[in-house]
Structure 1
Amino acid sequence: MRAESSRAERAQIVHRSLRVTLAAAAGFYTFLYGLDEPLLALYSLFAPIALGLLSSVPGSGRQRAAVMLKALPVGLVLVTLGTVLAVETWAAVLGMLVVGFVLAYAAVAGPRPAGAAPGLQLFYILACFPPYEPDTLGLRLAGLTTGVLLLALCEVFLLPQPPGETYRHSLARAVATAGDVLAGRTVLTPGALRAEGARLRLSNVPPAERPAGPRRADRALSQAGTAARRLLEQLAHLTETGQLRDLLRAADRTDSPARWLLPRVAGRCGECAEGLRTGQAVPGPRGLDEAIGAFQDMRVRQTADPAADEVPVPVLRRQAGLLAAAESVRVLEISVRIALDGRRTPPIEPRELFWYTEASAPRLWLRRLVGNMTPRSVQFHNAVRIALALGAARLVAGALDLTHGFWVLLAVLTLSRTTVGETWTAIRAAMAGNLVGAVAAGALLITVGQRTDTDAVLLAPGMLIAFALGPLLGIAWAQGLFTLVVATAFAQIAPASWQLAEARIVDVVTGSAIGLLCGLLAWPAGARREVRRTMAGLLRACGPLIEGTATTLTAVPPGSAPPAQTLPALHRLRLAESAYAQFRSEPAPEGSSGADWHALLIAAHQILLGAQWLPRFDLPGRALPPDAAEWARADARTVAGRTYRLAELCVEGDRGGSAVAGEESPAGGGASAMAGEESPAGGGASAGSPAPERPGLSRPPPPLPLPTLVDLDSWLTSLTRQLSRAEADLRTEPRARSGRPISFRRPAGP
């Protein structure tokens, strides 16, 4: 499988090099030799290189072409802005700071804007250097437009990248599987169910198909995917414990509450899967709401009827598992309907979970943009870092009047990484490649001299080889071969000598030094520190939710205590997920045990879900016995205290200190088997239903067969297990830091 994937990736790289080469060469040769317009030729050459090679626009050929056409107006504005601001160095520097930040920050809008951003940066960089010639603006815009249009045509017609499976269809397959298991039509092992959920990981989804944008449909589809993965994990656990088998048997009896709910839950899964396949919106959620309500009413009547036999606690636990699965399907159903419809809706409960359904599109965009405008956001870090580096590079290039100074900024753009270790590794390889490439380019220029016909013959095959071998062989080859390409191209536009290669070396060294310096000064550790800080903030926000949920369920009289507010924790969760996603993309430092951050994300997600649905469906009709209420609150305080302790462990690890004092780490637990995900998919209240022991909870629960107490105990015990494993892992991580010095592995590619 890996060999097939590697062959496919190599084929994609070769096909991309063909498309970029054809688009760049067609415009360059036509304008330079057909119309004798060097400026047109220059912009038509670099436009395909910028959007086709420097940018990493995801998707099929048609999808990439659409992104490029949408980026064209932005590129025209940037070229215009750069041409106007080239009048003074200080104006160009200020423009570079603003443009650099805005385009880098565009990554918060999703993978497509993030992919196109580097190429758009190059459009401003090309135009903002002297000579100041506003009268040539028309030629620059014409060349840029021609290059982008040629590249878009090549993307569509020349060996186009075929479309991958859409996220909707992947989700439909997973939901249909869950429905078949709930209906008893299919029997799958827990491993098979978890594998089906793992296919919805963002790392397994093509970037162009990831629901990562701020729009209502994207948010809903992402939420539906999380709910589907949570449902499959719940079914895996119910299968492991035998509870699913017992639920299916109980559903055949007329006196069982499962008979009311299980068929409806399975049916809604089938409807959602069909809606995702056809694109037709599924019915509203009221039917499932009523079924869940009837299920809970029947559970309460069974336990409250003095004439009836006492319902065993294991039966109530099994019903709690079904209730949690039903709530996952309810969230799935609502999210699918919103994703397919895409329009604003009246408020949907819980409103904090579905707040985006009633928000306008401008508000959704504003919330995404403003929500990441914080020092705790890695997207904000990256935008500030690249803006400062590009602004400093433009200042140095202008102040020193460097020949071909835009190469300084191009070096910053292509060699900067999110950690200083990665940046240094990339710079070392790039310097070696540029040195060899400069020597070869200098020898070529000395040999060929002013014979532009020879350069013209060499340019097209040189681009094809450079654009194909560079990504395949690594950054050193990419930089060296690109040096040869720019030497042959510029030698045709203006008379050139071996000093052109020398200027290339000076500019790349200058840009590398600036990029490395900015990497040292601005968040040099990348997401390694930020993931600790955001996880600590998330855990601190989750602690009050645990205590608040127990307080709501045990309040006297019932309903007198409002549910805990989950919006702060939801915001912290989004920041933590973003930091974790970048953390997973960075090389792991040697000597680090690798804290299981994904386990913490799963636990936080489970806390948020319980805080939302337990008060909604488990609020008792009459006050709980005082002893039982005190037990519930005491256990909630214990679990909340563990979240605060974990937050302190995260902060201590960020400072490089030892673990804070606290209770001894529980036995067992290690790295989560699901580590490496981009977003949590942990189970709901039943995702980790308790085994006989209750780690960290010193007292056994009161022997009262009350649905509220059983559901709350299941939730707290499951959380304790999740947090115990994460704590055991975090306590070993600082000790790894005190060992041998951390060194960075060399990344596989540029």
Structure 2
Amino acid sequence: MIAGFLTERGTTSGNPGDSLHGLLRRQSTVLTVAVSTVTARTAAALASGVRQSTPGLPHEQFWYAGAAPVSLWWVRVRGNLTPRSVVFQNTVRTATGLALARLVAGSLDLSHGFWVLLTVLTLGRTTAGATWSAVRSAAAGTLIGVTTAGVLLLAAGDATAVYEYLLVPMMLVAFSVGPVGGPAWAQGLFTLVVSTAFAQIAPVTWRLAEVRLIDVLTGSAVGLACGLLAWPSGARAEMRRSVAELFRAAAPVVSATTEAATGPVGPATPRTAAAVSLRPTVHRLRIAEAAYAQYRTEPSSHTGEDGPDWLAALNYGARVLVGSYWLPPSHGAAGLPSPLLHWAHEAATRLASATHEAADLPTGGVHVRLAPLPADILPLASPAALSLLIDVEVWLYALATDLTAASGADGSAASPPLPPGEPLTSGAAADAR
């Protein structure tokens, strides 16, 4: 259906009074919605494990659909082997914390030293502030738990039957309430569980609770030290770096895709979007998406802050890639009149320049203003070339809107106003992400 629409669009109009520009914009909107629908359906099918063939989809968009699991794991591992990846940072932080905890527990010859390692695993967070909050709650809960466990061990003594009857109810409560109640409840209740369990294995005294407290405090200190020394701000700083790198990688793709779709200015050989590798942009987008996912899970005191819109930045990177996948290389567009061709390249150059400027995340953002398309020259172009040009126009205007929002600028200066009744399809095109 999309292929048939591409063949017939631009030749008929539902209303005789419609302008050619308005008609082609609405048809481009319809095409964008159709592409978004096919993309969403395919993505949902792949996510649910269905490997069905969908005719017409660009291979580059779903390159991973037919790849072997081993190659996909290698791509993921290779892509995260950088200090700028939050996955890499969390891995290094956790590994360092466990190694240090093992060293401390062995050097101090702590009894039940594995509790130190478990504490590092359960209390480690992605920011120093969140780790300190978890450590404080865990220390308070553990103190209450060891006090209660000490009283229980002193009262029950060697009566193993008491511990046998208490173990199952305590486990049920601890593993149900602990994850919901937070670190204080989890550590306190788990202390009661391990105390009743160890009391059945061998004779114990209230000193077992003391050992538990020492191990938890030692593990908390190790986890807090790692949180302070290894990327203490979490994903906040990485969010800025990853978005900046995403903008720098995406800027040349905008120019290359526009030139591929409309043809070069002058006798030069037209480039294709593949001439500029998409791999850096895809890689930077994945790094930024991981940073954003972690950023949204971290507590922050900067609620309602002005500045860059990180989600709009991700939408911008995704939209750049979608355009490079779906806007076909120029064949019939070679007959575009010179003014239209110059407009396309000037608009793409302006947008690419603004993208490089936005990579510095300037205060006040970046105002992207694209010149209006010279509509009076549109009838001089062939229908095929003109339809493709309008697709490029819609794509560039949507990118300008995303970039303005992403940089934190006022969207009112993003682009010139459109004539009445001619929609800008930024919202519909965003669904293609």
TM over 0.5: yes
Q: How far apart are residue 628 of structure 1 and its match? A: 2.2
Give the CA deviation at 1:589: 2.6
Partner residue, 1:360: 68
Q: Distance in 2 between matches of 1:336 and 1:402?
A: 51
Task: Name the counterpart of 2:263.
Answer: 554
Q: How does 1:128-527 map to 2 (within 5 A)?
A: 264=1, 288=2, 290-295=3-8, 298-299=9-10, 312-332=20-40, 335=43, 342=50, 350-527=58-235
SS at match of 2:126: coil
> Are 2:409 and 1:700 equivalent residues in the alignment?
no
Equivalent of 1:606, from 319, 327, 332?
Answer: 319
Relative distance call for 1:342 and 1:430 in structure 2 (3 A) is same
Residue 339 of structure 1: how far off its partner (Å): 6.5
Partner of 1:630: 342
2:392 to 691, 712, 726: 712
Secondary structure of the residue aligned to 1:587 is coil
**Does the 8 Å CA contact 2:354/2:366 hold for their aligned counterparts?**
no
User: How many Å separate the matches in 2 of 1:528 and 1:641?
Assistant: 26
Q: How far did residue 635 of structure 1 move? A: 1.3
Q: Which AA in structure 1 matches 2:369?
A: G
Distance change in 2, residues 1:363/1:323 (3 Å): same
Deviation at 1:422, TM superposition (A): 0.5
Change (3 A) 1:346 1:361: farther
SS at match of 1:648: coil
Structure 1 residues 127-162: Cα deviation after superposition (integer angstroms, max 9, x where no partner): xxxxxxxxxxxxxxxxxxxxxxxxxxxxxxxxxxxx
Q: Quote the Cα distance in structure 1 between the aligned partners of 2:173 and 2:43.
A: 47
Deviations 1:629-651 (A, max 9, x none): 222211111111222122111xx
For residue 305 of structure 2, the aligned residue among 593, 596, 601 is 593
Q: Provide the secondary structure at the position in 1 that maps to 2:305.
A: coil
Give the whole-Å Cα distance in 2 for the aligned partners of 1:475 and 1:380: 25
Query: Cα distance, 1:517 vs. partner?
Result: 0.6
TM superposition shift of 1:330? 4.1
SS of the residue 2:334 aligns to: coil
Q: Distance in 1 between matches of 2:25 and 2:168?
A: 70
SS of 1:318 mapped into structure 2: helix
Shift of 1:514: 0.4
Cα distance in 1, alignment partners of residues 19 and 247 from structure 2: 36
C-alpha distance in structure 2 between counterparts of 1:325 and 1:592, whole Å: 32
SS for the counterpart of 2:61 is coil
C-alpha distance after superposition, 1:170-209 (max 9, x if no partner): xxxxxxxxxxxxxxxxxxxxxxxxxxxxxxxxxxxxxxxx
Distance 1:391 1:648, change over 3 A: same
Inter-partner Cα distance in structure 2 for 1:399 and 1:340: 49
In structure 1, what is the equivalent of residue 355 of structure 2?
Answer: 643
User: Closer, same or farther in 2 for the Cα pair 1:489/1:584, shift >3 Å?
Assistant: same
Secondary structure of 1:429's counterpart equals helix
Distance 1:402 1:377, change over 3 A: same
Kindly provide the amino acid, as one letter, of the partner of residue 634 in structure 1: E
Deviations 1:57-110 (A, max 9, x none): xxxxxxxxxxxxxxxxxxxxxxxxxxxxxxxxxxxxxxxxxxxxxxxxxxxxxx
> Kindly tell me: are residues 345 and 363 of structure 1, through their superposed partners in 2, closer, same or farther at Cα, counting changes over 3 Å?
farther
With CA pairs under 8 Å and 6+ residues apart, which has the higher RCO, 1 or 2?
2
Contact kept, 8 Å, 2:154 with 2:206, in 1: the verdict is yes
Aligned-partner Cα distance in 1 for 2:283–2:112: 45
Cα distance in structure 2, aligned partners of 1:309 and 1:720: 30
Check conservation: 2:366, 2:409, Cα contact below 8 A: no
* Distance in structure 2 (CA, Å) of the matches to 1:345 and 1:323: 21
Shift of 1:443: 1.9
The answer to which of 716-725 and 622-631 deviates more is 622-631
* 1:584 match: 296
| Structure 1 contact 619–708 (Cα < 8 Å) conserved | no
What SS does the aligned partner of 1:696 have? coil
Judge conservation of contact 1:346–1:357 (CA < 8 Å) in 2: no
Deviations 1:432-480 (A, max 9, x none): 1111111221122222222222222222222223233333433212211
Structure 1: gaps spanning 5 or more residues: 1-263, 265-287, 650-658, 667-694, 732-750
Cα distance between partner residues in 1 of 2:334 and 2:174: 75
Cα distance between partner residues in 2 of 1:314 and 1:347? 30
Question: How high is the TM-score relative to the length of structure 1?
Answer: 0.49
Q: 1:345–1:358: 8 Å Cα contact kept in structure 2?
A: no
Residue identity matched to 1:701: L
Contact 1:347/1:355 (CA < 8 Å) preserved in 2? no
Distance 1:639 1:293, change over 3 A: same
The residue matched to 2:204 in structure 1 has which SS?
A: coil
Cα distance between partner residues in 2 of 1:519 and 1:592:
26
1:394, distance to aligned residue in structure 2 (A):
0.8
Task: After TM superposition, give the deviation of residue 364 of structure 1 in Å.
Answer: 1.9
With over 3 angstroms needed to count, the CA separation of the structure-2 counterparts of 1:720 and 1:393, relative to structure 1, is: same
Question: Are the structure 2 counterparts of residues 437 and 374 from structure 1 closer, same or farther at C-alpha, using a change threshold of 3 Å?
Answer: same
Post-superposition offset of 1:504: 0.7
* Cα displacement (A) at 1:499: 1.0
Deviation at 1:350, TM superposition (A): 2.7
2:322 partner amino acid: L
Q: CA deviation at 1:419?
A: 0.8
The CA distance in 2 between the partners of 1:426 and 1:529, in whole Å, is 21
Amino acid at match of 1:565: S
Q: Structure 1 counterpart of 2:301, which letter?
A: P
Distance in 1, Cα, partners of 2:360 & 2:167: 59
Q: CA deviation at 1:318?
A: 0.9
Inter-partner Cα distance in structure 2 for 1:612 and 1:709: 16
Q: Secondary structure at the match of 1:411?
A: helix
Q: Contact between 1:433 and 1:478, CA under 8 Å: does it hold in 2?
A: yes
Choose which of 242, 246, 250 in structure 2 pairs with 1:538. Answer: 246
User: Which is further off, 442-451 or 349-358?
Assistant: 349-358
Amino acid at match of 1:715: W
TM score, norm. by length of structure 2: 0.83
Alignment check: 8 A CA contact 2:263 2:333 kept: no
Name the SS for the 1:353 alignment partner: coil
